A and B are shown apart, each in its own frame.
Chain A
Amino acid sequence: MFDSVSLYRKMLTCRRVEEAIAGLWQEGLISGEMHLGIGEEGINAGVLDHLGDGDAVALDHRGTAGMLLRGVEAAAIIKECMGLEDGLCGGMGGHMHLFSKDHLAASSGIVGSAGPTACGFALAAQHLRPKKVAVAFFGEGAMNQGMLMESLNLAAAWDLPVLFVCRDNGTAITTSSPAVTGGSLEERARGLGVSGKNISGVDVEVVWHEAAVMLDRARSGKGPSFLRTTCLRPQGHFLGDPLIRMVHKPVAEMKPRTGPLVSAAMSSGGASIAQRLAAITKIMAMIGRTARTQLGSAHDPVLQMRKKLKITADDLAGLEEEVELTVKDALEQALQSLPAGGEEATK
């Protein structure tokens, strides 16, 4: 049964935890890159709501919400992002390399690697855990990675209980995915023997129902499925994404780039004027595309679910306060774990 209140709570928790992580990153308490799943909550929650003990999940570089939804403590995840000794992986992995053996949940920063890992989890399920499944999460960019395409075929050939979930935001870092992708992704999966569907990831209920059917198939030994879900990602590829910065502060961000760009466009030796104009047009299109990723409420899965909830305003306020408090508590736990002089840690 689709439980809208429970799904809303899960999505909101993901959103708030990731916002807290973003804050820590801005403050310099998290080092390196930070890829968040804000805008993808409908997909993550709609699929993972169906998983239970013994089911497995292979995540990519954007796996924070996936771990949370599998039941890993928020504080353990936040601490791991901060590199603390009492984080989920002892501070050894960081946000791109989250592992929870108890939940059979693993992630990797190498694009496409969730495919083979999920196949392996599914193979183990065939042997050791009948009726259990494995889910792979990845972006549409990863669909061009050889190992992922090979995994689709392997899963079909071996009837592996895998659900391949493609989160399609249309862009891989700065590259328009359609511009570097041949054919359609569903047809590609179908061509490899994995039946697929294409849905919007904004409505968690749609995702939930589709995932239910596909996971049932897998559990009953009918093999893998492919679910392509579309989404918008307002933060860009990662926090501090230069394209997002260009959208928000065009003058400041473009200024240092303009001089070299103009000189590149004008210098002798190089392509024809027409080719140079075509290149500049594509650069402008890239920035325009980025501007269109800013979440209006129509594309926000959390707000969309909130609108449809059939509970009283009081209950809703109570639920939201509870989520805020849980996340605040996790954040406080993480901050308390900082070693003395912790603010200097990443300096």
Chain B
Amino acid sequence: MREMTFSQAIEDALTQAMKEDQRVVVFGEDVHALRMNLYTRFGEKRVRPAPISESAFLGTAVGAAMAGLRPFVELILIDFLAVAADAIINQAAKVEAFSGGRWKVPMVVRAGCGGGYGDGGQHEQSLWGWIAHIPGLKVVVPSTPADAGGLLLAAIADESPVFFLEPKLLTDDLLEVLGSGGRTTVTYDIPTGGRSGPVPERWEPLALGRAAVRREGTDITIAGAGIAIHRATEAADLLSGEGISASVIDLRSIAPLDRDAVLKDVESTGRLLVVDDDYRDFGLTGELAAAVLESGLPARFARIAVEGTIPFDPKREQKVLPNVERIYEAARRLMER
């Protein structure tokens, strides 16, 4: 076992993938700086800086993947996907279905997601519900360095377009550049877990669409992904002080979604609280509520998610994003119902 930060795990797994497979090529804005080590090691042909032309280079990834490469696109922030929506929604997602399953699009889009560092509602969205809404796309959200590397390899090995979303509060590189910029005068509510941890000596791909039970409990199931898992774990600690036993399920992948893992746990607890850093309406929280209803389980349900545009003001931002206090309160209310 080695010890790595979240960002190191991502770069390390990507290095392994590039070493093992010549078809893996990286491109995106500023990749020579963002991936300086890979740029030096693999040269500009395989780590290529792109113009600010998201629709062109994401569309290029689709074509390149169809024609034999395994593109790994650095989109930097998931918010910028909006500029290139066609390449993903109407092209990448459709090729396999339209070709009767004969032609696939093995590409990865990596992007930072989420807020908590006061950068405003155009740079802090999570948007995984938007991606998961489209048939033909996959989206993963790791919450630990070990999962980050393992899911990254799985994403590269997968034959479908996969979004790899990286919660910015867990990364040292993105958060340093976008948040503190060398300042020691700002701090953030960074979860205690997830920023660094043990990783395997050699990366192996993790199965996509398999949730992990982070904590076993008997009274209430808390499910989510990314930052929410760390917040939920802290809330579960507080709840246990009050005699409430909560399990925490890390979905790891939003699409495919491991509904079975959630249902299995809810079967024993009878209560589900879904925590989501993405928007509330028409998203992950509603999807899991539907799964519970469809299963016929007699469960109580509550959710915490982002309701509206994320405010720039860091104080209001803190209240809009799911935090430990909100999870704790919601869980207690759910216990009383």
Residue ranges of A at the interface with B (Cβ–Cβ < 8 Å): 25-28, 31-34, 83-85, 91-94, 96-97, 108-112, 141-142, 144-147, 172-175, 179-181, 238-243, 245, 257, 260-261, 263-265, 267, 269-272, 275-276, 278-280, 282-283, 286, 345-347
Q: Cβ of B312 and Cβ of A83 under 8 Å apart?
A: yes
Q: Closest residue to B120 on the A side, CB-wise?
A: A94
Contact partners of A238 in chain B: CB under 8 A: 181
B37, B118, B178, B312: which contacts A97 (Cβ < 8 A)?
A: B312
Contact partners of A27 in chain B: CB under 8 A: 185
The 9 closest A-B pairs by CB, nearest first: A240-B181, A31-B118, A28-B185, A271-B43, A275-B43, A83-B313, A94-B312, A32-B119, A144-B51
Contact partners of B47 in chain A: CB under 8 A: 279
The interface-forming segment of B27-35, B96-104, B195-203, B206-214 is: B27-35
- Chain A's nearest CB lies how many Å from the CB of B196? 15
| Extra pairs beyond A31-B119, A283-B39 (11, CB < 8 Å) | A32-B119, A110-B122, A145-B52, A145-B54, A173-B30, A174-B33, A270-B41, A275-B44, A282-B32, A282-B44, A283-B36
Q: Cβ of B40 and Cβ of A283 under 8 Å apart?
A: yes
Q: Cβ of B38 and Cβ of A264 under 8 Å apart?
A: yes
B311 within 8 A of A: yes
B145 within 8 A of A: no
B40, B177, B183, B309: which contacts A92 (Cβ < 8 A)?
A: B309
In the complex, number of A-B residue pairs with CB atoms less than 8 Å apart: 178
Contact A257 to B120, CB < 8 A, known contacts A92-B309, A242-B177, A279-B43: no
Q: Cβ of A146 and Cβ of B49 under 8 Å apart?
A: no
Q: Which chain B residues numbered 37 to 90 have a C-beta less than 8 Å away from chain A?
A: 37-47, 49-56, 79-80, 82-83
Q: Cβ of B118 and Cβ of A275 under 8 Å apart?
A: no
B264 within 8 A of A: no
Q: Cβ of B312 and Cβ of A283 under 8 Å apart?
A: no
Contact A264 to B45, CB < 8 A, known contacts A112-B83, A146-B55, A282-B32: no
A31, A142, A145, A265: which contacts B41 (Cβ < 8 A)?
A: A265
Q: Cβ of A175 and Cβ of B19 under 8 Å apart?
A: no
Contact partners of A261 in chain B: CB under 8 A: 36-37, 40
B43, B79, B120, B186: which contacts A347 (Cβ < 8 A)?
A: B186
Contact partners of A280 in chain B: CB under 8 A: 40
Contact partners of B121 in chain A: CB under 8 A: 92, 97
Q: Cβ of A174 and Cβ of B30 under 8 Å apart?
A: yes
In the assembled complex, the Cα of A5 lies from the Cα of B168 at a distance in Å of: 46
In the assembled complex, the Cα of A111 lies from the Cα of B79 at a distance in Å of: 11
Q: Cβ of B51 and Cβ of A83 under 8 Å apart?
A: no
Q: Cβ of A93 and Cβ of B312 under 8 Å apart?
A: yes
Contact partners of A242 in chain B: CB under 8 A: 33, 177, 182
Interface string of B248-278 (1 = CB under 8 A from A): 0000000000000000000000000000000
B43, B51, B55: which contacts A278 (Cβ < 8 A)?
A: B43
B37, B53, B185: which contacts A144 (Cβ < 8 A)?
A: B53
- Chain B's nearest CB lies how many Å from the CB of A5? 36
Residue ranges of B at the interface with A (Cβ–Cβ < 8 Å): 19, 29-30, 32-33, 36-47, 49-56, 79-80, 82-83, 117-123, 177-183, 185-187, 309, 311-316
Contact A175 to B122, CB < 8 A, known contacts A33-B181, A147-B83: no
Contact partners of B179 in chain A: CB under 8 A: 31-32
Contact A83 to B80, CB < 8 A, known contacts A91-B316, A146-B55, A275-B44: no
Most buried by A among B33, B46, B52: B52
Q: Cβ of B45 and Cβ of A172 under 8 Å apart?
A: no
Contact partners of B309 in chain A: CB under 8 A: 92
Task: Provide 17 A-B residue pairs closer than 8 Å at the C-beta atoms, listed in order of the A residue.
Answer: A26-B183, A31-B117, A32-B120, A83-B313, A83-B315, A91-B311, A92-B311, A92-B312, A96-B120, A110-B80, A112-B83, A146-B83, A175-B49, A179-B49, A240-B182, A261-B36, A286-B32
In the assembled complex, the Cα of A31 lies from the Cα of B122 at a distance in Å of: 14
Q: Cβ of A26 and Cβ of B185 under 8 Å apart?
A: yes
In the assembled complex, the Cα of A178 lies from the Cα of B117 at a distance in Å of: 32
Q: Closest residue to B53 on the A side, CB-wise?
A: A144
Q: Cβ of B40 and Cβ of A175 under 8 Å apart?
A: no
In the assembled complex, the Cα of A28 lies from the Cα of B184 at a distance in Å of: 8
A32, A85, A245, A260: which contacts B118 (Cβ < 8 A)?
A: A32
In the assembled complex, the Cα of A260 lies from the Cα of B182 at a distance in Å of: 20
Contact A94 to B83, CB < 8 A, known contacts A279-B44, A286-B32: no
Q: Cβ of B122 and Cβ of A108 under 8 Å apart?
A: yes
Q: Cβ of A286 and Cβ of B33 under 8 Å apart?
A: yes
- Chain A's nearest CB lies how many Å from the CB of B165? 19
Q: Cβ of A97 and Cβ of B182 under 8 Å apart?
A: no
Most buried by B among A83, A96, A243: A83
Q: Cβ of B178 and Cβ of A110 under 8 Å apart?
A: no
Q: Cβ of B42 and Cβ of A270 under 8 Å apart?
A: yes
Q: Closest residue to B119 on the A side, CB-wise?
A: A32
In the assembled complex, the Cα of A260 lies from the Cα of B7 at a distance in Å of: 13
In the assembled complex, the Cα of A181 lies from the Cα of B38 at a distance in Å of: 23
Contact A346 to B120, CB < 8 A, known contacts A31-B314, A267-B41: no
Contact partners of A112 in chain B: CB under 8 A: 52, 83
Most buried by B among A112, A181, A271: A271
Contact partners of B50 in chain A: CB under 8 A: 180
A25, A33, A91: which contacts B178 (Cβ < 8 A)?
A: A33
Contact partners of A279 in chain B: CB under 8 A: 32, 39-40, 43-44, 47
Q: Cβ of A173 and Cβ of B39 under 8 Å apart?
A: no
Most buried by B among A27, A85, A174: A174
Contact partners of A108 in chain B: CB under 8 A: 122
In the assembled complex, the Cα of A286 lies from the Cα of B31 at a distance in Å of: 13
- Chain A's nearest CB lies how many Å from the CB of B312? 3
Q: Closest residue to A272 on the B side, CB-wise?
A: B43
Q: Closest residue to B47 on the A side, CB-wise?
A: A279
Q: Cβ of A283 and Cβ of B32 under 8 Å apart?
A: yes
A147, A267, A347: which contacts B187 (Cβ < 8 A)?
A: A347
